[in-house]
Amino acid sequence: MAAALINEYNYEYLCVPCDRVFVGKDDFLSHLRRTPHAVPILCGKCNQEYHHLTSLIRHIKNTHIQEAQNNDVILDQMEVDGAVGDGVEENPDCGGEDADHGDQMEQVSEEESSDEEIVDLVRSAGQMTLNLRQSGSVTGSAIERFQHECFKMVRDTSKSLKQKVKKFLADENINTPQSRALLQELHVDDPFSQLRTMKQQLKYFSSELGLVPPETKFLDYRVDYKLNTETLQYEPTRVAMSFEYIPVIKTLTLLMKNEKIRNLIDAETASQDGIFRSYLDGRRAQTHPLVSRFPKILRLQLYWDDVEVVNPLGSKTTIHKIAAFYFSIQNLPPVESSQLSSIYLLALAYSEDIKTAGGFEKVLAPFLAELRRLESETGVVIDLDIGRPFTLRATLTVLCADSLAAHDIMGLLSPSARHFCRYCMVSRPDFRANLLAVGERRTKAMLEDHVRMVRERRSQEKECGVRKSCSLHLSRGFDATCDIIFDCFHDLLEGVCHWVISLSLRSFINASEYFSLKQFNGRIAAFNYGVNDFKNKPSVNFTVDSLNGSKLKQTGSQMWCLTRIFGFLVADVPEGDENLKLVNLLQAILLIVFSEAVRAEDITRLEELIAEHHILFQRLHVTPENDVFDELSDDENDAEDIDNPDDPAEGEAFAENQRRRAHKKVTPGNKLHHLVHYPEVFRDHGSLIRYWCARYEGRHQIFSKYGSICCNFINIVKSMAQMYQLSTLSGILKTSYRAEEMELQGPQNISVE
C-alpha cells in the first residue's frame, strides 16, 4: 500500500490503493486513520516503509508537508524575482529531477495566479471561533481573550510587514500612488469585531453559514423566590417557564443543501436478499402510509432523555437537570447516522418544568405542527439553489428512549405498575410465575379505548396501565404500541447482563468455590483486550457487596466486553455448570441482537435462545411465586447446631460463611420480559442496533463538558442549546463523509498456523 502526495505545492494528496485525492492534509490524514490498509505502508513520495499508521502520518507531517511549505516560500520568491527582473536564469547545476520540479513549480505558479482567491479574514476568524465552540470545552470569556490575543498577533505582524515594505520602498526611492495604496492595504482591521459575544456569533453564523438558532417558546408559569432589593428578602414571584426549540424544517433544509448528504439519502435502498438490516426491510415500512407511498421521504427517529449537567454527586443535582429531545435521519447509511454530528437537537427544557400538567404536549406541539406540514400531500417546497424547487417530506417512524421516558411519552404508568409492558397487557404476577408469559397485544385502538376509560373513571389506571393519551399519535402513521422501540443497550448491557454475570459469579465464587474474588479481579487486570476493547475493559472493582447487589459497577460498554470474554476469565468452571450455560445463552442472544444484519432463521433462533435462557434463569435464580424468600432462613437453622455454642464469634463466622455460600434468589425485572418481544421488533423494524440509545447518550457529552466549566447557570437551557447548534453547524459544514470511503468486500480466507 502506498500513500503519497501528488502535488505538494497545491497540498493535494493521493491514497494510491483507494485512488482517492484529498485537498488538504486534514481530510487525507483522517482518511488514513479510519480506513484499513494493508501493511507495510509505503510512502509514495520517498518509498520508505512503515508498519504503523501513526509513523506514516508523523513522517508525512514532519517531512513532506514541511518541504511543501518551504517550497511555497521559494516559489513566492521566484515569482517576485520574475516580476522585477527580465526572467530567472536556469541553474546549470540543477539535475533532471530538480528541473522537473522547476517545471512543476512554474506550472503551479501560473495556475495559482489565474485562480487566486481573495482571503476573507472575517470568515477565517468565524471558522476558528466555530471550531472552538463546537466541543463545549471552552467558555465564552476564554474565547474572547483568545480572539483578542490573536488580533494582537495579526496586528503586530501587519505592522512588521508594513515597516519592511516602507524600508524597501525608501531604499529603492519608490514613491508612487500604487506604493502608497499598497501600504494602505497592509493595514488589518479586527476580524473578530463581529464575533465577540455569543449574540454576535449567532447573528454572523446565521447570515453567513446558515446556522439554525434556537427559538425560545413559552411553557407555563411557576412560583419561584426572588430577592427584593428594597427589603432584602426573598419573596415568592411568578416566573415564566420556557424551553428552547430548534425548527425541524430549517434544520432539514440546511442538511439538504449539502449535496453529499442528498446523494447519500438518494442512494438508500431496501435489502434484496431477505436480510433484515434497516427500517425498509421490516414490516412497518410496508404498512406505513407515507413510507410506502414516498420511498425517499425522510424518516425521523426521535429520542428523549434527561441529562444531569452538573456533578451528579454535588448539591445542585435535579435543579439543573435538563430534558433533551434529539432526532436523527434513518435514510443515512449506518456509518454516517451513527456519528455524533448526525444527531440533531429538537428541543431543550428543564426536566422539572415539563413534568407539570401538559408539559410534554407543549414541548412537542411546535414539532408536531411542523411535522403535519412535512407529512402533508404537498410537502414543504424549499429552495436549495439547485435550479429547481425541492419538495421536502418527512415523517416520524420511531421513538428511542429508556423505559421511564418511553412510558412518559406513551402516556403509561411507571414501569413499576401492574401492567408494565408497552407491547402487551401481561400482568406482573403472571410474569413472575412464568418469564415467557405474554399478554394481549396492545394496539393503537386499544390504547385509545383505555384513555377513554381512564377519563371517565380514574381508578381504571391500574387495570390497564394507562394514564393519558400519546401526543405523538398526531403524526400520520406513528403507532406508539409498536414504534417506541425497546432499547437493547438498557435492556441487556445495563440490565440482564448485570444480573446474569453477578448471579453466576456469586455461584462460582461463593457456592462452588471454583476461584476467589481476588483471582477473578486479577484475571480481569491481566487479560489481553487488544486494541478495539482496550478502552472498554472492565474495571477491577468486584467485591462481595457488588455481587450481592443487582447491578455491577460497570458501564454498558464495559459489560458488553465483560460478557463476551467471560468464558476466558472463568476457565476453571466445568462445562456442565448450569450458570455457565446461562452465560453462554446470553452471549448467543447478544450476538444476534447486536448484529447489523439478521436473517429470518436468526430471528427464529433468537426466539429459541430467549426461551431456553428464561426457563433456566427462572429455575436457578427466581423467587417462587407468593413466597417471601428469606436468604438467611435455612442458614440460621444450621447455625444452631455448631459445636461450640459458647463461642459466639465462631458461630457468627460459620453462619456468615453459610449465608455467603447460599444461592441467591431474585425477583425478575421488566427487562427480561422485554427480550420476549425482540423477535417481533426485528421483523417490524429491522436490526435493533440501529435504534439503541448509546449513541444518543454520547451526544450528552457536550452538555456535561460545558456544565463543568460554566459559571453562570442563569437560563442554562438557552446557553446549552446555542452551544449545541454551533457544534451541529460545524458537523454539517464538513466536506468528507465516511460513507463515501467505505467499500464492502467479500469474505477472505485467512490461514492460521
Q: How do residues 270-297 score in pLDDT, each as one tens digit?
A: 999 989 999 999 999 999 999 999 999 9
> CA-CA distance, 355 to 667, in Å (whole number)?
30
pLDDT at 81: 39
Report which residue type is found at 709: I
For residue 22, what is the enclosing H or E element? strand 20-23
Least confident of 251-265, 394-408, 657-671: 657-671
Chain segment 677-688, per-residue pLDDT in tens:
999 999 999 999
Q: Which three cell numbers stand for residue 283?
A: 414490516
> CA-CA distance, 196 to 450, in Å (whole number)?
55
pLDDT at 731: 82
Chain segment 82-113, per-residue pLDDT in tens:
333 343 344 434 444 444 444 444 443 444 44
CB 327 within 8 A of CB 346: yes
Chain segment 67-87, per-residue pLDDT in tens:
665 554 443 443 333 333 343
Residue 597 pLDDT > 60 = yes
Torsional class of 720: left (φ above 0), alpha (ψ -120 to 50), beta (otherwise) = alpha
> CA-CA distance, 421 to 606, in Å (whole number)?
20
Closest by Cα among 515, 507, 553, 557 to 537 = 557
User: Of all residues in the chain, what percent are helix, strand and coil, respectively (each to 5)?
Assistant: 50, 15, 35
Q: Percent of the chain scored above 90 by pLDDT?
A: 50
Residue 37 pLDDT > 90 = no
> CA-CA distance, 174 to 164, in Å (whole number)?
14
State the alpha helices, DSSP H only, in 186-337.
Answer: 198-208, 248-256, 259-266, 283-287, 334-337
- Give CA separation, 18 vs 13, 58, 67, 335, in Å: 12, 20, 25, 18
pLDDT at 632: 29
pLDDT at 603: 97
Residues with Cβ within 8 Å of 680's Cβ and at least 6 positions away in sequence, in order, are 423
Cβ of 363: how many Cβ atoms within 10 Å? 24
What average pLDDT does range 161-179 have in this prediction? 90
Residue 484 pLDDT > 90 = yes
Residues with Cβ within 8 Å of 470's Cβ and at least 6 positions away in sequence, in order, are 409, 410, 411, 447, 480
pLDDT at 89: 40
Identify whether 645 is preceded by a cis peptide bond (ω within 30 of 0): no
pLDDT at 644: 41
Chain segment 428-442, per-residue pLDDT in tens:
999 999 999 999 999
